[in-house]
Amino acid sequence: MQEALDFFRSRQPVNLAVVLTNIVVFIVLSIMGDTEDGYFMVTHGANYAPYVVEYGEYYRLLTCMFMHFGIQHLFNNMLVLIFLGDEVERLGGKLCYLVIYILGGIAGNIVSVVYDLHTGFFSVSAGASGAVFSVIGALLAVVLLNRGKIPRYTKQRMFLMASLSVLQGLTATGVDNCAHIGGLIFGFLLAMLFHGRLTFKTKDSVDNFPHSP
């Protein structure tokens, strides 16, 4: 019990708040109905291109980021986010992390909507995956900008992580790969844009940055 408390106390505040928000939303939706039912999810804020475009329900681009299709979907996303999100928040600061998470996730969902409109095949989409991929893209950018001088993260490791994550989505069924790839690209671009303007550490300061527990 104490180990669990120490673990959560060591987390970055904004990232922890995002993770807890995702969990709370999932619990509430699970009490209300079946989170693996597409109709239930779309009636409670999941992303669905016709509703976004034809009815102007743009809020779905945001609300869907905090909804998950079942406990496994939630667990997979939060497991990645609790660690990588902490790294980005440490390196970029609270505001920068939140912007990368929210805007990157929304951008990924926009790419998903555009793709669905282009193909004419519409599916209900939900999950933090686009935002998580935005975090991965941002961390990749920070590692590249600092020439790999981030504790525990090398260019090779980040490229491998990003590549395997995308590949896993492409080889699985029922995955919104457009949101993944869109989030990854926009997270990378946002981090490149913010570097030197907000609080991303310079190469020298990152060299001595403490390891996370």
Is 73 catalytic? The answer is no
Which residue's structure tokens are 């039912």?
Answer: 37
Is 163 catalytic? The answer is no
Q: Please give the Cα distance from 45 to 50 (Å, whole number).
A: 13
Name the residue among 121, 103, 114 with its Cα closest to residue 191. Answer: 103
The residues, any chain, with a CB within 8 Å of residue 158's CB and separated by 6 or more, are: 136, 139, 140, 143, 144
Catalytic residue among 112, 129, 134, 195: 129
DSSP label at residue 65: G
Q: Is the separation of the CB atoms in 151 and 211 below 8 Å?
A: yes
Catalytic residue among 180, 195, 205, 212: 180
Q: Can you list the alpha helix ranges (DSSP code H) found in the chain?
A: 2-9, 13-32, 38-42, 49-54, 60-63, 71-92, 94-119, 129-145, 155-171, 177-194, 203-207
Residue numbers annotated as active site:
129, 180
